[in-house]
Amino acid sequence: MKTVKSSNLGYPRIGENREWKKTLESFWASTINEETFSTRMKKYRLHHLQKQKNKGIDYIPIGDFSYYDHVLDTASMFGLVPKRFAHTSGPVSLSTYFAMARGNQAAHACEMTKWFDTNYHYIVPEIENKEPELVENKPLHAFLEAKKELNIIGKPVILGPFTFLKLAKGYKKEEFANILNSFVPVYTQLLSELADAGAKLVQVDEPYLVMDITKEEMEIFSNLYREIVTNVPNVNIILQTYFESVSHYEQLVQIPVKGIGLDFVYGYKENIDAIERFGFPEDKVLGVGIIDGRNIWRSNLLESHQIINKLSNHVPFKNQILQPTSSLLHVPVCLEQETGLDPIVKDALAFGDEKLDELRLLRDVTNDPTQSSLELLNRHQQSFEKLNESNWRVRKETAGLPTKRTKEFQERYQLQNQKWNLPLLPTTTIGSFPQTKEVRKARFKWRKGELSNDTYEANIKSMIARWIRIQEELDIDVLVHGEFERNDMVEFFGEKLNGFAFSKNGWVQSYGSRCVKPPIIFGNVSLDKPMTLNETLYAQSLTDRPVKGMLTGPVTILNWSFVRNDIPHQEAAYQIAEALLKEVQSLEHAGITMIQVDEPALREGLPLKKEKHNTYLNWAVEAFRMSTSDVAETTQIHTHMCYSDFNEIIEAIKELDADVISIETSRSHAEIISAFETNIYDKGIGLGVYDIHSPRVPSEEEMTSTIERALSVLPAELFWVNPDCGLKTRGEKETVAALEVMVKAAKSARNQLTKQVTQ
């Protein structure tokens, strides 16, 4: 009898019916008090643990539950609160915690950016020369709660110091080693208190080890953990990595910790090659990341079983812990409510709970490969293979569409300026306006059949007309229709394209309480009829000002969908691009010749290893250009991107050849502007002048200062003024107030530039 164990790395926070999200938003809206908020959150937290216990998971993660974000939890646990929030000492209050995440009228929020190459956003810590101290041992509280309430000896989950500091800001590169060393005492204290409470195994997440770190950085990492283990020798630490293969395997396995967790799905080849080349220490356990924690398709358990057996040539079964490749934070909670999916598609899926079932089945078959357990494995495999045996086969071909405009940008832009005759520093928005309760209620009733198509369309038109009028009253130069008919910027398009399926409750957390429901790409993508034409044409009929057509780009639709594991992403992107080009041309032929094709997820799809960057960027850029190049030169193509590290992908962004790009940068404006001090960008550009993720309305002076700073490195004749993202999640009152300030700031900067020219 083998003794392989199972472990989970993290569980989705949001709940089966997004009750976590609803509680958060109720608290923010002051409809429940802090006591009620804490009581409800505890209930959800314990429910998640009980579910994992019922599924027979051997090592159940605790401390992975968060009120907002696990990186923010780590910062607040160590008292690393930026000075602007006026926190003095001791545990960080809930109001300060949420102010760091969302901002308030006194202080702007901390920066938010993508968690590695996922669609999850974390709050960026700010060091500010502050010494970390353990002001609240949150993992200890979670451990004691699970032990007392459910008799669970959980596995505390902690974000490791190396990754935490690498993801932080507010220090110089040469200060890294010294600052990292200052975390040794607080991690020593944290781990000591967990050991004293009876924690048998502690998961310390260090995913930054899969990045291209240097040998010197790996040495710093090794010395760090040798010191921590020396200080706390009675703690069994498993260093957990995910999303890719580790960069310095040979050095990593020499660190005197209890175990190492590796990804054998996304980093399979490199990780298993390293084990076969260098072996694996006999005194360590191996966390075998074998169930895909990022995608919703069933695992090929026969293949997984073979990998486990292959690993047993180097790592005894008793030293293997089977687990997902990453936290299940990135997948929906459970399939139970998905009654509307095609049975063949549904049978090929595994959400969070089903992944834990897969994990248990794989563990049981490995430990006791009886006839009955092998039959269960085969039945699982048959369901997995039904989709492949169906008629939904993906063609292996590219679209062969034009990928280059016939004229260069400068000539196009001159023609476009003559056509539109816009003022200097033209103002616009990114696309969406507030999705109020009334908007969502009408859509919900329409979907349930309680509202007729005619009534629903009339409702949408009334909202479009209202916001066209508001934009004109605000004196915005280039308008949008507001996207009131759209539930989500990817789901909306997926519902109108062939090859997509949709879950009823397949929500995942994107940032804070913001959840998204990614489409499911199961087959060939194509377009039968226009998707956005009616609403855009109606909006344009109400105004003499240009109204932008609003589309989501091929790479973002791809990256923000759950794509079948056997569909090459490049080929799927080309199919989406071909479909979108039809939509672009439909808009153009109808007279909509300012069209925005958003690619906010271009950067997040960038592989974590630099050696893989060019391959991805080449086909990603080509897919965008496929969808936008076969148009007239006077048709102005806009795009929008999020959290882009321009120093990394500036050349690829130039190669998109969009006439105007807007960038979500308000939380890290200084950093993005500094990128243009060393990189010349010679196309139309708008840097977001205020943060839409915060309810705070900035002052005119703040926005004017932001515009002036940008114009210090960007030419005024190419600069646009816009919010940093869509306004879907904001309230109407704050939206109008912020846009009013934005237009005033743009006019002030415009007048100042005009004076300089005439002097």
Q: Which of 60, 50, 20, 605 has the alpha carbon at shortest distance from 328?
A: 60
640 is in an annotated binding site: yes
21 is in an annotated binding site: yes
How far CA 721 is from CA of 54, 164, 487, 709, in Å, comes to 54, 34, 26, 13
How far CA 627 is from CA of 513, 520, 585, 588, 630, in Å, comes to 32, 21, 9, 13, 8
CA gap 546, 215 in Å, rounded: 54
Q: Residue 262's Cα: distance from chain center in Å?
A: 22
Q: Which of 673, 657, 655 has the alpha carbon at shortest distance from 614?
A: 655
Q: Which of 605, 503, 595, 527 has the alpha carbon at shortest distance from 560?
A: 605
Alpha-helical runs (H) found in 509-568? 533-541, 554-559
507 is in an annotated binding site: no
20 is in an annotated binding site: yes
The one catalytic residue in 70, 330, 481, 693 is: 693
475 is in an annotated binding site: no
334 is in an annotated binding site: no
Tokens of 241: 């990595």
126 half-sphere exposure, CB direction, 13 A CA radius: 15
CA gap 138, 396 in Å, rounded: 50
The C-alpha angle 428, 514, 640, rounded to 5 degrees, equals 30
Q: Which of 77, 55, 73, 52 has the alpha carbon at shortest distance from 64?
A: 73
CA gap 493, 481 in Å, rounded: 16
How far CA 406 is from CA of 510, 684, 713, in Å, comes to 38, 18, 29
604 is in an annotated binding site: yes
Who contacts 282 (Cβ-Cβ below 8 Å, separation ≥6)? 319
330 is in an annotated binding site: no
How far CA 662 is from CA of 6, 128, 362, 596, in Å, comes to 46, 30, 47, 10
Q: Which of 540, 648, 661, 660 has the alpha carbon at shortest distance from 600?
A: 661
114 is in an annotated binding site: yes
Does 305 qualify as catalytic in the annotation? no
The C-alpha angle 161, 165, 171, rounded to 5 degrees, equals 145
Ordered DSSP codes for 721-751: B--SS--TTS-HHHHHHHHHHHHHHHHHHHH
Pair type for strands 520-527 and 497-501: antiparallel
Pair type for strands 112-114 and 121-123: antiparallel
13 is in an annotated binding site: no
Token pair 């859509």 in the structure block, residue: 443
What amino acid occupies position 443?
A: R
CB atoms within 10 A of CB 300: 17
432 is in an annotated binding site: yes
514 is in an annotated binding site: yes
217 is in an annotated binding site: no
CA gap 44, 555 in Å, rounded: 35
Token pair 């997984």 in the structure block, residue: 304
| Three-state DSSP class for residue 461 | helix
CA gap 698, 143 in Å, rounded: 41
Q: Residue 454's Cα: distance from chain center in Å?
A: 36
664 is in an annotated binding site: yes
**Inter-residue contact 419 to 634 (CB < 8 Å):** yes
Q: Which of 326, 259, 320 has the alpha carbon at shortest distance from 291?
A: 326
- How would you label 389-422 residue by residue, b for 16+ Cβ within 10 Å and e otherwise? eeebebeeebbebebebeeebeebbebbeeebeb
Residues recognised as catalytic? 693
Residues making up the binding site for Zn(2+)? 640, 642, 664, 725
Binding residues for L-homocysteine: 430-432, 483, 598
Residue ranges at the known binding site for L-methionine: 430-432, 483, 598
Residues belonging to the binding site are 18-21, 114, 119, 430-432, 483, 514-515, 560, 598, 604, 640, 642, 664, 725
